[in-house]
Amino acid sequence: MNDVKARRKMRNVTRLSEIGEFPLIARLVRALPTEDGVTVGPGDDCAVVECDGATLLLTCDAAIEGIHFRREWAGAEAIGWKSGAAALSDIAAMGGRPRFMLITLACPPEEDVAFLEALYHGLAAVAARCGAVIVGGDTARSPSGVMVDIMIVGEAAGPRILRRTGARPGNLLAVTGRPGQSAAALIALQRGMDPGELAQAHFHPVPRILEGQWLAAREGVHAMIDLSDGLLQDAGHLAEAAWMAVDVDPDRIPISDAMRRLVEAAGEDPAAVALAGGEDYELILAVDPADFDAMQGAFQDRFEVPLTAVGNFTAEWQGARVRGAAPEKAGYDHFKG
Amino acid sequence: MNDVKARRKMRNVTRLSEIGEFPLIARLVRALPTEDGVTVGPGDDCAVVECDGATLLLTCDAAIEGIHFRREWAGAEAIGWKSGAAALSDIAAMGGRPRFMLITLACPPEEDVAFLEALYHGLAAVAARCGAVIVGGDTARSPSGVMVDIMIVGEAAGPRILRRTGARPGNLLAVTGRPGQSAAALIALQRGMDPGELAQAHFHPVPRILEGQWLAAREGVHAMIDLSDGLLQDAGHLAEAAWMAVDVDPDRIPISDAMRRLVEAAGEDPAAVALAGGEDYELILAVDPADFDAMQGAFQDRFEVPLTAVGNFTAEWQGARVRGAAPEKAGYDHFKG
């Protein structure tokens, strides 16, 4: 034991990296009081509260330079769009309607004003695309790098707000669109290849706002979450929230020809990218199999986007598996990294 | 012109430090769309919106290590309390009722978990003191230092929401409590002196939530703002928002015996500290002089806190003056500072 470690031990200091993100959150929120107006507290995509007679969905999402984005990989406008999309997608995941955004923007004094304007333009553009407006925020000085924090107030779009808890044994795991396209584009960019039509999925992902509202209105949908960390990890969150397991079949994930060609040309496995790739902002849901076929056709007709069953929920074990086998790598942790 | 400057010039880059905070905000928000639901957009203490039939006050406020706080000067619990108080005070400044808070907490992986827990405890404590609850948030990794961003949803407490615009020529400038106590305590701490009873004002300031609601309900009050940057600067904001001027008389600012003794022992001028010291979270307001005397007595009776006229609004010039003379130093700018 070296000196530093010995000193820490004596002072009884626990570093965040020793416990990780989810135990930290559990420690922070365990002593929080609550009140009658709080329908959903910490732990879901949004908090849901009753305020002055209204049902509100509240969420916030930070994007920090060097952690969540690097300017070598994306222009300022795309960084703003992607950061806003990540936050707006949390409202989509519960079937809500985003209305108002506050933006906290922290940066060093030597920052280029044009970069900040372009980033803000991207934020305003994705807000407008999703029916929301920026109504205020805060500007602050940061010691280094740009930090954006996005807070959204949404409202219930119908009588039902869909939580991540609620999946039942025998439910199907369904996914909107074609997951993995953002990750596939990134793989191409990192290898100096042209991502072609997948660039849109990476630089300008569009949160599934109307799709989320439509799905939340269907009785056969029992739980929903957006794809931010990757299909397998987020499916695990749905399972875990219901004290269950989920078994994913990668062969059933819809993969476009363009993505397959690009990922194979880069020497990677398209199914693995579809399973692990994050930042797609598609939705995944737990659906009653008796309702799925009719829902699938109606969804495709309404949005011209596929809705595909890619796995099953079961109470027979815990966690997320791939065709019955535990995946090699556990989920990403921001602090254990 | 050295090489770096020449290169910048060629690339036509404008650094944030060249334009400062308020011109940055003006550039960011100028192209923002708006909609019918937005009653007050960027530029006041809170945004005010109509959402699902409710009138909401929305605000966010960031506190960044090394910029807004240093752990040598305050413990984690006090850092959390002060950060939360700054945000809650924005709701007080419009006469609103704070209800729900979201907390974004960014920190490096090596951060001490006990520090984060104590900081969060301070946030939850000041929220409870003001009648609000924490309902969610985000945790993220930062490259260095702790960053807290606090977002608050409040509701209108009565029929009237008080803006910072609205001061009229001939109005009195009034202040709640005894401004400058937080700054006086800091002066003492920096000199190794015991701040005594002023420690509370510095480490655990209590936002004037109920006082703000009471004042917003009085017809004679025309505009209000909270004291975060210092009496003179914030009075200037009230004047500027009404395209007017304000003249402050430092001799009329109520200064406690404890503050006078402490500041004089430190070799400083108590009136100057009362005029310039920030982070008090008292309220300043523009009041019709015909209503002031009755209001002053009733306020004192209700809250056991003084309400004092310390200046006058006038249309004869622009900006903030001290007994008719322009102050030596312009206001603090986060990016030029």
| pLDDT over threshold 80, residue A119 | yes
pLDDT-based confidence at A36, cuts 50/70/90? confident
In Å, how far are B238, B277, B284, B285, B297 from B172, measured between CA atoms? 12, 21, 10, 8, 16
Between residues A330 and B218, the one the model is more confident about: B218
Question: DSSP letter at A48?
Answer: E
Q: What is the pLDDT of residue A332?
A: 60
Give A191-246 pLDDT, tens digit per residue: 999 999 999 999 999 999 999 999 999 999 999 999 998 999 999 999 999 999 99
Q: What is the pLDDT of residue B8?
A: 54
- A-B Cβ pairs (cutoff 8 Å, strict): 273
**Which structure tokens are listed for A308?**
């595909």
Mean of pLDDT values over A98-115: 96
Give A56-75 pLDDT, tens digit per residue: 999 999 999 999 998 987 89
- Asked if B112 and A145 come within 8 Å (Cβ–Cβ), the reply is no
Give A251-283 pLDDT, tens digit per residue: 999 999 999 999 999 999 999 999 999 889 999
- Asked if A139 and B105 come within 8 Å (Cβ–Cβ), the reply is no
Mean of pLDDT values over A124-136: 96
pLDDT-based confidence at A99, cuts 50/70/90? very high
Give B95-130 pLDDT, tens digit per residue: 999 999 999 999 999 999 999 999 999 999 999 999
- Asked if A151 and B60 come within 8 Å (Cβ–Cβ), the reply is yes
Give A12-29 pLDDT, tens digit per residue: 789 999 999 888 998 998
pLDDT-based confidence at A1, cuts 50/70/90? very low
Distance CA A236, CA A321 (A): 8
Min Cα–Cα distance to chain A from B207, Å? 19
- Asked if A38 and B133 come within 8 Å (Cβ–Cβ), the reply is yes
Mean of pLDDT values over B201-218: 97
Q: What is the pLDDT of residue B10?
A: 56
Does residue B233 sit in helix, strand or coil? helix
Q: How would you class B111 by CB atoms within 10 Å of its CB: exposed for 0-12, middle for 13-18, buried for 19 or more?
A: buried
Distance CA A258, CA B335 (A): 46
Q: What is the pLDDT of residue A65?
A: 96
Question: DSSP letter at A122?
Answer: H
Distance CA A217, CA B277 (A): 54
Between residues B320 and B335, the one the model is more confident about: B320
Domains and CATH numbers, chain B: 39-156 (3.30.1330.10), 172-322 (3.90.650.10)
